[in-house]
Structure 1
Amino acid sequence: MKYKIIFSENAKRDLISIVRYISDELLESNIVEKLLYRILKAIKFLDEFPNRHRLCDYQEWKDKGLRVLPIENYLVFYIPDESSQIVKIYRIIY
C-alpha cells in the first residue's frame, strides 16, 4: 500500500525559499524548474519506500523515526508513520 505524503508548513516555506533564492539571488531561473522537479520526484518515491533512507544521526530525532533523504545539496527530513501510512515532510534544507 502506498503512503500518503504530506508537507509541514515549514517544508512548504523551505521549498518556496529555495525557489526564490535560486531565481532571485542567483539569477538562475532556468534551473529552478529542474531542481524543483528533482526534489519533488525524490520525495514522491517515499510513497513506496519510506524507510529506504537513513535515520537521523541525533539520538533524540532517531528515536522519533526522523529520516534523511539527500537530494543533491539538499536534505529532506521526514518521518514515516506505518500505522497511518503517512510520510510527513518536516524540512528541506541546504
Structure 2
Amino acid sequence: MTDSYKVGYSVDALDDLREIYSYIANELLAPETATSQLGRIRKEIRSLDFMPARYALVDWEPWHSMKMHQLPVDNFIVYYLVDDEKRAVTVARIFYGGRDIEGIINSNKQTVMELFV
C-alpha cells in the first residue's frame, strides 16, 4: 500500500499561478524570475503528496472549519485541502502573502463554497 496522495489544482489555483507568472513577467519585467518562482511554488505543492497535513490549518473562518491548510512558499501562501479517504490533496488558491487574504475570501464566499460541492 502506498502512502502517497494525489495532488490536484482547482481552477482558481491554476488561474492564480497564471496571474502570478503574468504579474512578475509582464509588470515587473522579470520573466526568468517568474519562471523560477512558479517552479518553486509547484515543487512545494508536489511535496504535498507525502504527509500533506504537516502544515498548519488556517486560523479564520470559514476555512478553518473546512480544515484548509496553508503552505508558505517564499512570499506566497498555498491553500489546500486534504482528503484522507480519497488520499487526495486539492490546492484551492495561491495568494501573495502581503494581501488581505481573509478579506478576499470573505468577499468571494460563493466561489469558495463551490470548491466543496
**What is the TM-score when the length of structure 2 is the normalising length?**
0.78
In the alignment of these two chains, the number of paired residues is 94
Q: CA deviation at 1:59?
A: 4.1
Please identify which structure carries the higher strand content: 1
Aligned residue identity for 1:28: A
| Aligned Cα root-mean-square deviation (Å) | 0.8
**Unpaired runs of at least 5, structure 1:** none
SS at match of 1:63: coil
Aligned residue identity for 1:25: E
Match in the other structure for 1:56: 58
Aligned residue identity for 1:60: P
- Residues 42-70 of structure 1, C-alpha deviation per residue, up to 9 Å, x if partnerless? 00110002011000001432121100000
Match in the other structure for 1:19: 21
Pairing 1:45-84 to 2, within 5 Å after superposition:
45-84=47-86
Give me the whole-angstrom Cα distance separating, in 1, the residues matched to 2:94 and 2:70.
Answer: 10
Give me the whole-angstrom Cα distance separating, in 2, the residues matched to 1:72 and 1:22.
Answer: 14
Q: CA deviation at 1:3?
A: 0.4
Runs of 4 or more consecutive aligned structure 1 residues displaced over 2 Å after TM superposition: none
**What is the TM-score when the length of structure 1 is the normalising length?**
0.96
